[in-house]
Chain A
Amino acid sequence: MSDPISRRAFLARSALIGCSAAASPLWTPVSFAAAPWDTRLVVIILRGGMDALDVVQPYGDPDYQGLRTKLAGGPASGASDLDGFFALHPALSPLMPLWRKGELGFVHAVSTPYRNKRSHFDGQDLLEAGTDTLAVGGDGWLNRLLQQIPGVEARTAYAIGHDDMKLLSGAAPVANWSPDAELIMSPQAVRLTELVMQEDPMFHAALNEALLLSEPADIDAAAMVMAQDDGGSAMMQMTMPRPVKGKSEIKIAQFAAEQLRGDARVASFSINGWDTHNRQEANIKAALTRLSDTLLTLQEGLGDPIWQNTAIMAMTEFGRTARENGTGGTDHGTGGAMLLAGGAIRGGRVYGDWPGLSEAALFDRRDLMPTGDVRDVAAWIMHSATGLDQNRFEQVVFPGLSMSRKPGFLL
């Protein structure tokens, strides 16, 4: 109760209410509206192009061994067998208990509509736009979902970390935040900072959101501290920006879980480091460990009742070449894989139509052939979670998408 951070944060917030509540486009009343649906959605963007064939290894495919020698996989190389055909990369073995409980699944041989140029940047932009082709300055698909649902407000959805999460950008209000960004100022400093930024909408909106998000999640506790304390402005010393201690992916997952335990229903962030042109064995292991730690931190942070009502999707801009390159790695490809996790997922299986790996079956005789669209998977999961009509997904969230026969990704 004597935590000075909470009290200071409360003071900052009081000042915000006092002078700018009406001016802030992001201000919402203290009592948050009831969340518009119950299932928690977490979307993780795996930036760099995850090598699907090394993560969910098709060791039962007769052509697999010939394509991967330095990157040989399958149970003989320490991977966990999933279903007699696919095996999971050893770095994800901490997730096997989830697989056995049906809380982890994969969709293989999927991609966005992006073809041929294999640029990370355009690939990610298209993945986040959720459209057939790239348009400049458009909004993101997860934001378009929020636009369709009444009752969504700024704390329904969080974009977390320092990466630009374009899939959440757009007209619907979204909170952008990072666990190390807390902005604590004296009431006077808040007032004056607002004053210097008032004529610049971009700065003003970002400032107000920063102040709002720096509040403690538990406002009542802060109010009690406030009541017990009689000021003490000497404690309102600002501090130099510095990173929170510990691994950033864990901090981000903890922060996401904390928000999703409350009124938030959507959280999105990135895990980077998948562009394994070289020495893939070491590099993909590091990235997969981050992914595994993230998922287990989310599970722990959410607690069982909410975990049971959580659907996590991890997706990447493209897969990589079927054949390993000359440098112990893989180059930019096309078809990839998605990871699904959470108690709401119907896991324990690898979804998707397996295209095979013979040279003729490959896209451009080089990449895993995509047989499904990542947007189709995302649409079905969000449709089940939010109850929003299927035609809204086909017309607005992913315009032009024709959703497949119901695959039943969610319980």
Chain B
Amino acid sequence: MTFSPELADIRFGCGLSPDIAPPQSVDSMLEALQARDEMAARFPIPLFSEFQPRIAEYRHAKTRQRKAAGTDDEVALSEQARAMGIAASQDMFKWYGQTVMRWTYTSSGLRERLVAFWTDHFTAVGKLGLFRNAGSPFVEEIIRPAITGRFADMLIAVTTHPMMVQFLDQQVSVGPDSIAAQRAKKRNLGLNENLAREVLELHTLGVEGPYTQTDVRELAELLTGLALNNDWGYSFFPRRSQPGPETVLGKTYGGDPSRIEPIHEVLRDLAVHPATASHIARKLAVHFVSDNPDPALITHLTSRYTETGGDLMAVYAALLEHPAAWHPELYNVKPPFSFIASACRALAVEATQMASFRPNQVAHRMVVPGALMGQHWQRAPGPDGWPEEDSNWITPQGLSARVRWAMTAPRLLRPDLPDPRDFVGKALGSYASEPVRFAAAAAETRAEAVGLVLSAPAFQRR
């Protein structure tokens, strides 16, 4: 069980492409992660900081609209806010298309996969105003550049980011004894544990980790002060902080006056906790290798994580150098977005074609079918992200949507469909079995033949 270029693209990348050669070694996979981000340059998505003014403008527009209720200006102001909302939704579909194009044309599939993995690990769904459309800009600025750094830095960047703050209600959590709560007794301000709980349970130690309800509460108290400013951007408000130090996992943090640094400090400690090391190691092995990975692989990743204090490049190297990562059988089922994007890669969908789609065409051709396969783009059902278990995706209803999409969407994405007899080899490589080759040749139409190849388990697994 050793490296193979084909598996490098299938298991650790975005699938096989008819035009782009797969990586030739583990070293080249790792080097590509640190090389220039060509896909980001070729298929741009704005940074969160570039999108943020639109969140602020929209918020202020809605406020003006509410204040104008009942006046002559109300209709015009409501129209103004509505137009901003529509423009942001349309951009969201454009960014979906850009993301699919990155999967289609990258020669560093592992980069796109790691971005998807960490985006899911730190699931942050937009709930307020134009945060609802900020998923891609958030990933572009906060996750994408951080995947090759230290876990601690990504954890700090995500936890203190407005996107996570609004997703887990941190902006309304106030220290019960803080100045803000004392001055506004009638408003009954207080603590909200949501972010603190998920940081411990999902982002760091894992639910089996050695923390208690008291740790959740103390961490929630430590996190108070972290909130949104008037523009819904990042801010730290000492007046909202619970006074005094807090004890998390036996160590005391902070004190008076309240500052952001103790929050960074506790996150740094959590990032290198042994429970975090094994939690992250297990998640990576399950995501990339199989639902039930070899325990030796998890141990190997855990030790590398611990030895390096969570240096992610070293952990990826540990994953790719381990023989258990290269077994030839394909186990994991691609989640719906990966299925759709890797199909676009196999079809070599033209960038000009994708760019020509109107937002509602992107929705009808990819985003909505993906939701019916069980995965609503950037709308994970909870902070734990999408499930890894194959059985969650290959249900009768999920598979029905996959087969229907495979047989109907490709001719809309690529009007000059490839010759199916050629496509079967390009899409599946050495995994093209005799029955699949036969089916591709025996289908009644070219669209059906292409659909059958994409429906084959050898394409849907990785």
- Contacts from A to B (Cβ < 8 Å): 69-70, 116-122, 162-164, 169, 175-178, 180-183, 185-186, 188-189, 192-193, 195-200, 202-203, 206-207, 209-210, 213-214, 238-243, 272, 275, 277-278, 324-329, 331-332, 364
Q: How far is the CB of B411 from chain A (nearest CB, A)?
A: 11
Q: Indicate which residue in B169, B372, B452 contacts A277 across the interface (CB closer than 8 Å).
A: B169
Q: A238 with B399: in contact, given A277-B192, A326-B174 (CB under 8 Å)?
A: no
Contact of A214 among B189, B400, B407 (CB under 8 A): B400
Contacts A181-B401, A195-B439; A203 near B452 (Cβ below 8 A): no
> Which residues of B (213-256) have their CB < 8 Å from a CB of A?
213, 216
Q: How far is the CA of A162 from the CA of B397 in the complex (A)?
A: 7
- 19 additional A-B pairs beyond A121-B384, A196-B436, beta carbons within 8 Å, are A117-B213, A181-B400, A183-B400, A192-B448, A192-B452, A193-B455, A196-B452, A202-B391, A202-B457, A203-B457, A238-B408, A240-B404, A241-B373, A241-B400, A272-B381, A277-B193, A278-B194, A326-B181, A329-B169
B173 & A189 in contact (Cβ 8 Å cutoff): no
**Closest CB in chain A relative to B401 CB, distance in Å:** 4
B444 at the interface (CB under 8 A from A): yes
CB contact between A329 and one of B192, B399, B438, B461 (< 8 Å): that residue: B192
- Using A119-B201, A241-B368 as known contacts, say yes or no to A203 and B399 having CB atoms under 8 A apart: yes
* Bound-complex Cα distance A177 to B207 (A): 31
Shortest distance between the CB of B21 and any CB in chain A (Å) = 27
A240 touches B455 (CB 8 A): no
Given A240-B405, A278-B169, residue A331 in contact with residue B192 (CB < 8 A): yes
The residue of chain A having its C-beta at the shortest distance from the C-beta of B437 within the complex is: A196
Query: With a CB–CB cut-off of 8 A, which chain A residues contact B453?
Result: 196
Q: Would A188 and B443 be within 8 Å (CB), given that A116-B212, A239-B408, A241-B372 are in contact?
A: yes
Report if A177-B213 is in contact (Cβ < 8 Å); known contacts: A242-B364, A272-B381, A331-B193: no
B residues in contact with A275, CB < 8 Å: 382
Please list 27 pairs of residues, one from A and one from B, whose beta carbons are closer than 8 Å in the complex, sorted by A's number. Answer: A162-B397, A176-B396, A177-B396, A181-B397, A182-B400, A186-B444, A192-B443, A192-B448, A195-B438, A196-B436, A196-B453, A196-B455, A197-B455, A197-B457, A199-B435, A199-B457, A207-B403, A213-B396, A238-B407, A241-B405, A242-B372, A272-B381, A278-B169, A278-B172, A325-B193, A326-B190, A326-B191
B13 at the interface (CB under 8 A from A): no
Chain B residues with CB under 8 Å of A181's CB are 372, 396-397, 400-401
Contact status A238-B404, CB under 8 Å: yes
Q: Which residue of A lies closest to B405 (CB)?
A: A241
Shortest beta-carbon distance, B199 to chain A, in Å? 13
Q: Is the CB of B188 within 8 A of A326?
A: yes
Is B334 among interface residues, defined by CB-CB distance under 8 A? no
- Contacting residues, chain B, for A177 (C-beta < 8 A): 396-397
Nearest chain B CB to A380 CB, angstrom units: 31
Residues of A within 8 A of B408 (CB): 238-240
> Once bound together, how far apart are the Cα atoms of A119 and B460, in whole Å?
32
Residues of chain B with a CB closer than 8 A to A277's CB = 169, 192-194
Which chain B residues (341-365) contact chain A, with CB distance < 8 Å? 364-365
Q: Classify the secondary structure of B's interface with A.
A: helix
Q: Does B154 contact A (CB under 8 A)?
A: no
CB distance from A167 to the nearest CB of B (A): 14
Q: Give chain B interface residues in 400-459, CB to chain A under 8 Å.
A: 400-401, 403-405, 407-409, 433, 435-436, 438-439, 442-444, 448, 452-453, 455-457
Residue tally, chain B, CB below 8 Å to A: 65
Q: How far is the CB of A367 from chain B (nearest CB, A)?
A: 10
CB neighbours of B397 from chain A (8 A): 162, 176-178, 180-181, 210
Closest CB in chain A relative to B32 CB, distance in Å: 32
Chain B residues with Cβ under 8 A from A325's Cβ?
A: 190-193
B320-345 with Cβ < 8 A to chain A? none
Contacts A188-B444, A199-B435, A203-B394; A193 near B192 (Cβ below 8 A): no
Taking a contact as CB atoms under 8 Å apart, the answer to whether A116 and B213 are in contact is: yes
Give the distance in Å from the alpha carbon of A117 to the alpha carbon of B215 in the complex. 11
Going nearest first, the 7 A-B pairs with the smallest beta carbon separation are A326-B190, A181-B397, A327-B172, A200-B457, A210-B396, A178-B397, A183-B400
Chain B: residues with CB nearer than 8 A to chain A? Answer: 169, 172-174, 176, 181, 188-194, 197, 201, 207, 212-213, 216, 364-365, 368-369, 371-374, 381-382, 384, 387, 389-392, 394-401, 403-405, 407-409, 433, 435-436, 438-439, 442-444, 448, 452-453, 455-457, 460-461
- Tell which of A117, A207, A240, A364 touches B399, judged by Cβ atoms closer than 8 Å: A207
A366, closest chain B residue (CB)? B213
Query: Could you tell me if A189 and B407 are in contact, using CB atoms closer than 8 angstroms?
Result: yes
Secondary structure call for the A interface: loop
Residues of A within 8 A of B461 (CB): 200
B387: min CB distance to chain A, Å = 7
| Cβ-defined contact, B384 with A183, below 8 A | no
How many angstroms from the CA of A240 to the CA of B407 in the assembled complex?
A: 8
Residues A332 and B444 in contact in the complex (CB < 8 Å), given A69-B188, A119-B207, A197-B457:
no
> Within the assembled complex, what's the spacing in Å between the Cα atoms of A324 and B354?
49
Q: How far is the CB of A252 from chain B (nearest CB, A)?
A: 11
User: Cα distance A120–B385 when bound, in Å?
Assistant: 13
Nearest B residue (CB) for A367: B213
Q: Verify B394–A326 contact, CB threshold 8 A.
A: no
Q: B197 contacts which chain A residues (CB < 8 A)?
A: 118-119, 332
Q: B206 to chain A: closest CB distance in Å?
A: 10
Closest to A26 in B: B396
In the assembly, what is the distance between CA of A164 and CA of B393, in Å? 9
Q: A241-B404, A326-B188 are in contact. Are A118 and B213 (CB under 8 A)?
A: yes
A240 contacts which chain B residues (CB < 8 A)?
364-365, 369, 404-405, 408-409
Minimum CB distance partner of A192 in chain B: B439
Contacts of B374 in A (CB 8 A): 162
Residues in A with CB closer than 8 Å to B443 are 188-189, 192
* Contact present for B213 and A364 (CB under 8 Å): yes
Complex CA distance for A205 and B392, rounded to whole angstroms: 14
CA distance A239 to B364 in the complex (A): 11
Q: Which residues of A lie under 8 Å from residue B188 when comparing CB positions?
A: 69-70, 324, 326
A60 to B404, CA, bound (A): 55
Q: How far is the CB of A149 from chain B (nearest CB, A)?
A: 23
A376: min CB distance to chain B, Å: 26
> A321 — nearest CB in chain B belongs to which residue?
B193
Contact indicator A241/B207 (Cβ below 8 Å) = no
With contacts A121-B384, A196-B456, A278-B172 known, is A327 near B436, CB below 8 A? no
Minimum C-beta distance from B303 to chain A (A): 23
In the complex, which residues of chain B have a beta carbon less than 8 angstroms from the beta carbon of A180?
372, 397
Question: What is the minimal beta-carbon distance from B172 to any residue of chain A, in angstroms?
Answer: 4
A-chain residues with CB within 8 Å of residue B394 when the two chains form the complex: 202-203, 206
Min CB gap A12→B, angstroms: 12
**For A70, what are the chain B residues with a Cβ–Cβ distance below 8 Å?**
188
Give the residue among A122, A214, A242 with the most B Cβ atoms within 10 A: A242
In the complex, the answer to whether B403 meets A198 with C-beta atoms within 8 Å is no
Q: Give the distance to chain B from A201, nearest Cβ to Cβ, in Å.
A: 10
Contact between B193 and A209 (Cβ–Cβ < 8 Å)?
A: no
- A122 x B207 contact (CB < 8 A): yes
Please measure, in the bound complex, the distance between the C-alpha atom of A117 and the C-alpha atom of B382, giving whole angstroms. 17
Identify the closest chain B residue to A115 (Cβ).
Answer: B213
Which residue, of B373, B400, B401, B444, has the highest number of chain A Cβ atoms within 10 A?
B400
Asked if A197 and B191 make an inter-chain contact with CB atoms under 8 angstroms apart, the answer reads no
Bound-complex Cα distance A327 to B228 (A): 14
A270, closest chain B residue (CB): B381
Interface centre among B212, B213, B409, B436 (most CB of A within 10 A): B213
**Nearest residue, chain A, Cβ from B192:** A327
Name the distance in Å between A211's Cβ and chain B's nearest Cβ.
9
Q: Are A164 and B169 interface neighbours, CB within 8 A?
A: no
With both beta carbons as reference points, the residue of chain A lying nearest to B441 in the complex is identified as A192
Inter-chain contacts of A272 with B (CB < 8 A): 381
